[in-house]
């Protein structure tokens, strides 16, 4: 019984070590480097939106991708690439009437010049049309994306997009 517990503990340690090593390789870190301090994608604004209750209102959501990185656009050229998406919680009283992502920029990998990717880099804007009942609503939207540099990709990530809706 004790031997089985030791084997289980060793297996857990091996999986944790392998996962950490794999993550380190994905984000191209050397053994003495740490994760970047700045977020990969930063939500810039708006923090508060005033709208007329029951009416569709355009809202421009501003984001910035960290220098040296890009994220797949909302319509990547390859089916297996993870698209950028935006969503509101299913139980939210505020709804997305429509959403428009910018067109991605073509990006060619230095290691594979024949492959073109559709990406966002620098600042980009997602234009949403929201509708809300009367009241104050603090939303926790989600932007889901996968970030890459010129040679490797990080695991997919989701950031929270806080928006304070004031509908009168």
Q: Tell me what pLDDT residue 37 has.
A: 57
Structural domain span for residue 120: 36-167
User: Do 86 and 139 have their domain in common?
Assistant: yes
Q: Whose CA is closest to 71, among 154, 162, 160? A: 154
User: Do 10 and 88 have their domain in common?
Assistant: no
- Segment 73-128, tens digit of pLDDT: 999 998 999 999 999 999 999 999 999 999 999 998 888 888 889 999 999 999 99
Contacts with 86 (C-beta within 8 Å, 6 or more apart), sequence order: 61, 96, 99, 101, 126, 128, 141, 142, 143, 144, 161
User: Do 14 and 54 have their domain in common?
Assistant: no
User: Do 29 and 44 have their domain in common?
Assistant: no
Torsion of CA 97, 46, 75, 25, to 10 degrees: -140
Three-state secondary-structure class, residue 17: helix
- Segment 25-72, tens digit of pLDDT: 444 444 444 445 568 999 999 889 999 999 999 999 999 999 999 999
Which stretch of DSSP H or E encloses residue 162?
strand 157-167
- Spacing of C-alpha 105 from chain mean position: 17
Q: Is the pLDDT of residue 11 over 70?
A: no
In CATH, what number is assigned to the domain containing residue 113?
2.60.40.1250
User: Do 86 and 113 have their domain in common?
Assistant: yes
CB 63 within 8 A of CB 85: no
Cα–Cα distance, 131 to 165 (Å, whole number): 10
User: Do 131 and 64 have their domain in common?
Assistant: yes
Q: Whose CA is closest to 124, among 78, 59, 73? A: 73
Cα–Cα distance, 128 to 76 (Å, whole number): 20
What are the angstrom distances between the C-alpha of 132 and each of 49, 52, 113, 115, 152? 11, 8, 46, 42, 41
**How many domains does the structure of the chain reveal?**
2
Residue 33 CB neighbours (<10 A): 10
């Amino acid at each position: 019984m004790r031997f089985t517990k030791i084997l289980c503990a060793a297996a857990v340690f091996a999986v944790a070590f392998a996962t950490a090593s794999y993550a380190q390789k994905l984000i191209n870190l050397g053994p003495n480097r740490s994760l970047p301090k700045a977020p990969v994608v930063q939500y810039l604004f708006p923090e508060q939106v005033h709208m007329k209750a029951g009416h569709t209102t355009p809202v421009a959501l501003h984001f910035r991708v960290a220098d040296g990185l890009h994220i797949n656009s909302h319509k990547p050229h390859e089916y297996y690439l993870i698209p950028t998406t935006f969503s509101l919680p299913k139980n939210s009283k505020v709804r997305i009437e429509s959403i428009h992502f910018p067109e991605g920029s073509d990006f060619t990998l230095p290691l594979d010049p024949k492959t073109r990717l559709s990406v966002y880099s620098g600042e980009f804007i997602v234009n949403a049309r929201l509708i809300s009942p009367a009241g104050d609503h603090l939303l926790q939207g989600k932007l889901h994306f996968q970030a890459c540099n010129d040679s490797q990709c990080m695991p997919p990530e989701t950031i929270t997009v806080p928006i304070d809706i004031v509908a009168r």
